C-alpha cells in the first residue's frame, strides 16, 4: 500500500449564511498521519467530507497527488473513509462486509478471499468472519470498519471520530491499534477528532481548528510546549495564561517581574504580552530555592488543592496578586491549604502567544 499526498488550497465551504470552513490551507505528505482537532462545529468533519468527496467546496482546491479532485465523485478518488458509526451492513457477516468493495470492483473470487483473510489477520479478527455486526462488541465492529477500508488499499485513509462510540479503556487501546496499522502500511491518514489525547497519541502532526479556521499546525509535542494562540493553549491540555507588560529590560506581571532576556522569544517581546505556562512547568517549595540563571522564584500561598491519585492539583496565589496559578505536583509533594510556598517558574517554558 502506498500513501498519497493531500493538499487543500484556500478551501471554503458555506452553508447558506454560515461559513463552516473559511479559506484553509493544509499540506499532508504521503505516508503522514495527520489529525484535525477541535471542538464541535469547528469545520473539521466538513473538511474531511470534502476530501472524501461527500461535500463539494464552495471554492478552493483539493489536490490528491497533485490533481485537483474538488468536484470528482467519491468513487473516483483513491480514498476510503471510516465513519463515526462504522456504517457496517447489519445483514452481512464480517467477511461480506469487508469484501463488499472488492466485489463492487469485480475482483476475482480467489483474490477477494486472500485479501479479506489478510485484512482479518491485520485487525486480529481471524475466525470471526461469519459473525454479523450485531453479534460483535463496539471495538470489534470498529476493527471490521477499518479492515473494510484497508482491504481496498487506498492511497488515503480518512477517519471521522472513529473511537467516539467506545468506552474509555477500549478507546485508549484502539488509539494504539490505529497507530500500529499506520506504521505497518504508511497509508496517508487524515483523522478527525475532538479528543486531544487521541490526536496526541496517533498523529505525526495536528491541525487545531476553531470557527472554520486553522489556529496552528504542528507536531504534538510542539503544540503542547509552544502553542501560538490562547485557543490552542487552552484546548491542548490545561494551562495558565499570564499577561505582562514589557518595561525596559523586564517583563512586569501582577506583583512579580522576570528579566526580559530570560525568555526564549526575548527579541519579540514588546508592549503588552501574554504567555502560556503549563501547570507541570511550575514547582513548589517550602523554602526559597537557590537562585539560578533559568528560574524565577515567587512567594505565594496555597489557595486550593485536589488529590487525583497520580498527582496533586494545586491553585496557588502569588503574594499580593490576583492571579490563581494551577500547579501539578507529584503525589508525595503535599502542601496544606493557606500554606506559604515558593513558586519556581522557568521563563524558557513560557510560550509567547500571538495578540488577540
Per-domain residue ranges of the chain: 6-233, 239-352
pLDDT for 206-254, tens place per residue?
Answer: 999 999 999 999 999 999 999 999 999 999 989 999 999 999 999 999 9
Beta strand 59-64 with 67-68: parallel, antiparallel or unpaired?
antiparallel
pLDDT for 11-22, tens place per residue?
Answer: 999 999 999 999
Give the per-residue pLDDT at 313.
Answer: 97
Give the per-residue pLDDT at 1.
Answer: 46
Q: What is the CATH topology of the domain spanning 6-233?
A: Rossmann fold (3.40.50)
Q: Is the pLDDT of residue 156 over 70?
A: yes
Share of the chain above pLDDT 90, in %: 75
CATH class of 239-352: mainly beta
Average the pLDDT over 255-272 and give the result.
Answer: 92
Question: How far is residue 240's CA from residue 155's CA, in Å, rounded to a whole number?
Answer: 41
C-alpha cell at 248: 525596559
Give the per-residue pLDDT at 84.
Answer: 81
Give the per-residue pLDDT at 218.
Answer: 97
Average the pLDDT over 89-95 and give the result.
Answer: 93
Q: Is the pLDDT of residue 142 over 90?
A: no
pLDDT for 163-216, tens place per residue?
Answer: 887 888 888 888 898 898 899 888 999 999 999 999 999 999 999 999 999 999
On the question of a common fold for 6-233 and 239-352, the answer reads no
Amino acid at each position: 500500500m502506498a500513501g498519497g499526498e493531500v493538499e487543500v488550497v484556500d478551501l471554503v465551504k458555506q452553508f447558506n449564511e454560515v461559513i463552516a470552513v473559511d479559506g484553509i490551507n493544509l499540506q499532508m505528505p504521503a505516508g503522514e498521519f495527520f489529525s484535525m482537532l477541535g471542538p464541535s462545529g469547528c469545520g473539521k468533519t466538513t473538511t474531511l467530507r470534502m476530501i472524501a468527496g461527500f461535500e463539494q467546496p464552495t471554492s478552493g482546491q483539493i489536490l490528491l497527488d497533485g490533481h485537483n479532485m474538488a468536484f470528482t465523485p467519491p468513487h473516483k478518488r483513491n480514498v476510503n473513509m471510516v465513519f463515526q458509526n462504522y456504517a457496517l451492513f447489519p445483514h452481512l457477516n464480517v467477511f461480506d462486509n469487508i469484501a463488499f468493495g472488492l466485489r463492487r470492483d469485480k475482483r476475482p473470487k480467489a483474490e477477494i478471499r486472500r485479501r479479506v483473510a489478510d485484512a482479518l489477520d491485520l485487525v486480529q479478527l481471524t475466525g470471526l468472519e461469519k459473525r454479523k455486526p450485531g453479534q460483535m462488541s463496539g471495538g470489534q465492529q470498529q476493527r471490521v470498519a477499518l479492515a473494510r477500508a484497508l482491504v481496498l488499499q487506498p492511497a488515503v485513509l480518512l477517519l471521522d471520530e472513529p473511537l467516539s462510540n467506545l468506552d474509555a479503556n477500549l478507546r485508549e487501546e484502539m488509539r494504539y491499534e490505529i497507530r500500529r496499522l499506520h506504521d505497518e502500511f504508511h497509508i496517508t491518514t487524515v483523522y478527525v477528532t475532538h479528543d486531544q489525547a487521541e490526536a496526541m497519541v496517533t498523529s505525526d502532526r495536528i491541525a487545531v481548528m476553531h470557527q472554520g479556521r486553522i489556529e496552528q499546525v504542528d507536531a504534538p509535542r510542539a503544540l503542547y510546549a509552544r502553542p501560538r494562540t490562547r485557543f490552542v493553549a487552552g484546548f491542548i491540555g490545561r494551562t495558565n495564561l499570564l499577561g505582562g507588560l514589557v518595561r525596559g529590560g523586564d517583563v512586569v506581571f501582577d506583583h512579580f517581574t522576570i528579566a526580559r532576556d530570560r525568555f526564549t522569544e526575548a527579541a519579540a517581546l514588546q508592549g503588552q504580552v501574554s504567555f502560556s505556562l503549563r501547570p507541570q512547568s511550575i514547582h513548589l517549595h517550602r523554602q526559597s530555592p537557590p537562585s539560578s540563571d533559568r528560574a524565577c522564584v515567587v512567594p505565594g500561598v496555597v489557595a486550593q488543592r485536589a488529590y487525583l491519585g497520580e498527582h496533586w492539583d494545586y491553585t496557588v496565589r502569588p503574594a499580593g496578586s490576583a492571579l490563581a496559578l494551577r500547579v501539578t505536583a507529584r503525589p508525595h509533594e503535599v502542601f496544606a491549604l493557606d500554606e506559604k510556598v515558593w513558586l519556581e517558574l522557568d521563563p524558557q517554558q513560557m510560550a509567547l502567544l500571538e495578540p488577540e
